[in-house]
Chain A
């Protein structure tokens, strides 16, 4: 009699393999360009996305979110203050899902996502003039080019440069 594993063991091994493959397939691209794999908190959408994109919580480390949520009345030059219960709810959720994107353990200057090293590196081909275009306004306006940014997806294939953009800037998009 040959020393073969029993059928259930074989099935279990096969299942493990498939689970691993499924996980890799699912997590691979997500880790690369879609940091927000969490269901957005409705309160976060309601309160924060009224003025700007609901930035994926994974894009800042816990300490940065803590500081941000502790100083909403002076939020990058504007008053974004909220009632205590909302602050607590949003802050807790942000901290739970913080720091899951690339190298975000490093706290960027002024807790700005756009000052993170990975962000700067990723956008080094973008002409500085692009950020200043009326249709873009600033590097914080992800949705100006990342067409699925509001869904937490930042894949290169989804990049669409705004219509008003000068032709000489547009070529960067096809890189």
Chain B
């Protein structure tokens, strides 16, 4: 029954659905369904409207932004190994995807941590451009 229903859907309708989904993916870039660091970077860059700048990302990551902590306070200036939570001392696994393949494979998780950590470091949300820059830099860190 359901198979018949699917095959009965006109091609134009499927195409429209696809275009709609693609448009949705762009508008919701950060929270889209991309499952690799590359896809998340693509989505963030699209949202930012410019290509990412890794060098700027590194600077942003290591700088303080008017509060007590920088990103590096917990993740280290070179986040290729274990970090340490600045308050609790709990170890934090490497942030650079090349050193921890689980990183940036779940967009919802990435967004959650960006939301929290940006609030802790900058007392505001990060812009898509800031997130893209940081991610580009992290992805550039190779073994």
Contacts and interface: CB of A to CB of B under 8 A. Distances in A.
B88 A80 contact: no
Contact of A51 (B85, B115, B119): B85
Interface string A26-55: 000000000000000000000000111100
A52 B85 contact: yes
Contacts of B112: 82-83
A82 B90 CA distance: 19
B89 A141 contact: yes
Q: DSSP majority for the A interface? A: loop
A79 B118 CA distance: 9
A140 interface: yes
B115 A79 contact: yes
B89 A51 contact: no
B2 interface: no
A122 to B, nearest CB: 20
A137 B115 contact: no
A137 B88 contact: yes
Nearest to A144: B89
Contacts of A138: 87-89
Contact of B116 (A76, A77, A81): A81
Nearest to A49: B90
B82 interface: no
Contacts of B88: 51-53, 137-138, 140-141
B84 to A, nearest CB: 9
Rank and list the top 8 A-B pairs by shortest CB-CB distance, nearest first: A137-B89, A79-B119, A52-B88, A79-B116, A141-B89, A78-B120, A51-B85, A79-B120
Contacts of B116: 78-81
Interface of B: 85, 87-90, 92, 112, 115-117, 119-120
B87 A78 contact: yes
A175 B112 CA distance: 44
Interface centre among B88, B112, B115 (most CB of A within 10 A): B88
A94 B129 CA distance: 38
B40 to A, nearest CB: 19
Contact of B90 (A53, A73, A136): A53
A50 to B, nearest CB: 8
A103 B117 CA distance: 35
Contacts of B89: 135-138, 141, 144
A51 B92 CA distance: 8
A129 to B, nearest CB: 16
Contacts of B120: 78-79
A43 B116 CA distance: 18
A136 B88 CA distance: 8
Nearest to B116: A79
B129 to A, nearest CB: 21
